[in-house]
Structure 1
Amino acid sequence: MKINIKDVARKAGVSTATVSRVLGDFPGVREKTRKKVLKTVSKLNYEINAVARNLRKKKTNSIGIIVGNVLSQFYSVIAKSVEDTANKFGYHTILCNGDENSQKELEYLKVLKSNRVDGIILTPTGKNSEYVQHLINSKTKVVLLDRLIEGVDCDAVLVDNANGAYKAVKHLIDQGYRKIGIVSGYLDRTTGAERLRGYLQAIEEA
């Protein structure tokens, strides 16, 4: 027979509301009572309904990460660092491979929202600005990674691609090289556009 919250309350000699408060980690419960409830939960092998608990707390302790390509060493290292840091603070992560595909990215954004994640870290394709803005307007915390989205104002963690490209090209010029090409990546992403800008600036100054 499956154990429910009423069984736990009856065995512990408390109300179902008290059991709910203990399992939801809410304040206002004496430590002695809290320990008794948790001991009863363990003894009865009661399985906590995480979904229901999260709905009550309005918090899931989960963070969604959407990266451009999970096979990229750059993104895999970042994803692991995010996971390690989140774990230290009691959060778990949901990793999604956007594959540089705007439709796939949009689907993952919707899935993460429906799963009520506490925040989303996104390497954007730049094609879903309206939905990302919708997430921000609906109080979903969004942090952009490596790229910006035109017209969307939110926190971002970025690399200075323009300055990096400029310094790399200038170094080659200083070494006497004159025929210098560039593989910038997608020019419709801020990363590629910024690398090209830095490259052209160095060439023009030569």
Structure 2
Amino acid sequence: MSKRISLADIAKSLGVSKTLVSLVLNGKGDKYGINQQTQKKVLAKAKELNYIPNVLAQGFRTGKTKTIGLIVSDITNQFYSRIARRIEDYAWAQGYSVIICSSDESIEKEINRIKLLQSRKVDGLIISSSQQNPDWFNQFRSANFPHVLIDRCFKDADSPCVTVDNVAGAQMGAKHFLEQGIKDIALLSITPEHISTISERTSGFLSALAEAKINIPAEWRLKIAFSNIESEVEQKLTELYKSGSMPKAIFALNNNLTSHCLLALRKLNISIPNDIALIGFDDMLYFGFTQPSISAVSQPVEEIGERAFDLILKQINGEVIPESERFVRLPVNLIIRESSTKPQ
């Protein structure tokens, strides 16, 4: 194995001090009056010798590892993978790396991942939490540990958070059904129901129906376990179909529910939208290409990642985030496609 190139090697080859090389490679050449020609020589030599910074050593000197931890419920969910990619892009541009973990909606696993990432000395955490209370994040605030909650927030926490207007998005879906003259509507939810996204979407949807004096019967409020989405969606819809108690529309509270609902209805030979209309919360690329195309509440996924990284970087750099900028709630919009037209 070839010898790892050090700052001393670069300095020796150029006949300059190790301190000068360090200042240039850390972007501080202008600040300390190092002329541009010398800076260019240092950068060129570092590239020529294939110099790779020793992040651990830098961490000991600066107290920072230039890494950020990202915890989401399921990185295979396109909603989270798109956010993760945007965060990773912004992190890379700022010289940071991102360690990504999935919690699988397990509070125990989430806490384990938090401890693991802190043991790796990450400079901050971005988390889509499954926890029922904000205790962990209140501790972060007390310790001034940089962190940002994404997607899911807590009413009683002062942690920086980036989310969307879930209530308004669900109300859009409900009102669209009503505008189509559809009143027999099922709500497809997922565990854990205590998380803010699910509770807010549920309350928004039900409040819009309540304004129209419509109540959803218990058998049409379908709760699906996160750990068993595909089979439970198919099982519950099959049971409704066999009972002769199918609704005229379904509102699914996230993209996985929408996708598996679509598959289950096809297996039952139920026509969308002729037999039943469908709207999902959180748009997916392929929803525009399916037959029929699927109506969905679209979230500004890339902006969630962008705003979250901005908030975490400000904290890492010691900036005080004004109270007015601590909580970010982004707007959503309903994309109306073929699946939500009035059934014939």
- TM-score band by shorter chain is 0.7 to 0.9
CA distance in 2, matches of 1:74, 1:172: 24
Pick the aligned partner of 1:102 from 103, 107, 110: 107
Pick the aligned partner of 2:168 from 158, 163, 169: 163
Residue 29 (structure 1) shift: 5.3
Contact between 1:22 and 1:29, CA under 8 Å: does it hold in 2?
A: no
Contact between 1:18 and 1:29, CA under 8 Å: does it hold in 2?
A: no
Equivalent position SS for 1:183? strand
1:187 paired residue number: 193
- RCO higher in structure (CA 8 A, sep ≥6): 2
Equivalent position SS for 2:188? coil
Q: Flag the 1:114–1:35 CA change in 2: closer, same or farther, 3 A.
A: farther
Q: Structure 2, unaligned stretches of length 5 or more?
A: 213-344
Equivalent position SS for 1:184? strand
What is the count of residue pairs matched by the alignment?
A: 206
1:13 paired residue number: 15
Residue 107 (structure 1) shift: 2.3
Which shows bigger deviation, 69-78 or 12-21? 12-21
Q: TM-score w.r.t. structure 2 length?
A: 0.51
Equivalent position SS for 1:14? coil
CA distance in 2, matches of 1:65, 1:8: 35
1:204 paired residue number: 210
Equivalent position SS for 1:70? coil
Contact between 1:119 and 1:140, CA under 8 Å: does it hold in 2?
A: yes
Q: Structure 1, unaligned stretches of length 5 or more?
A: none
Amino acid paired to 1:20:
S
CA distance in 2, matches of 1:42, 1:168: 54
1:92 paired residue number: 97
Contact between 2:132 and 2:195, CA under 8 Å: does it hold in 1?
A: no
CA distance in 2, matches of 1:87, 1:45: 19
Cα deviation digits, residues 85-129 of structure 1 (max 9, x gap): 433444433222121111222222233333343432211112473
Residue 4 (structure 1) shift: 4.6
Instruction: Give the number of the structure whose residues are more often strand, by fraction.
Output: 2
CA distance in 1, matches of 2:120, 2:205: 42
Equivalent position SS for 1:181? strand
Q: Flag the 1:57–1:25 CA change in 2: closer, same or farther, 3 A.
A: farther
Aligned ranges 1:73-152 → 2 under 5 Å:
73-127=78-132, 129-152=134-157
CA distance in 2, matches of 1:44, 1:86: 25
Which shows bigger deviation, 184-193 or 103-112? 103-112
Q: Flag the 1:170–1:81 CA change in 2: closer, same or farther, 3 A.
A: same
Residue 42 (structure 1) shift: 5.0
2:59 paired residue number: 54
1:30 paired residue number: 34
Residue 43 (structure 1) shift: 5.5
Contact between 2:189 and 2:198, CA under 8 Å: does it hold in 1?
A: yes
CA distance in 2, matches of 1:30, 1:202: 64
Q: Flag the 1:73–1:90 CA change in 2: closer, same or farther, 3 A.
A: same
CA distance in 2, matches of 1:74, 1:44: 41
CA distance in 2, matches of 1:178, 1:87: 49
RMSD: 2.9
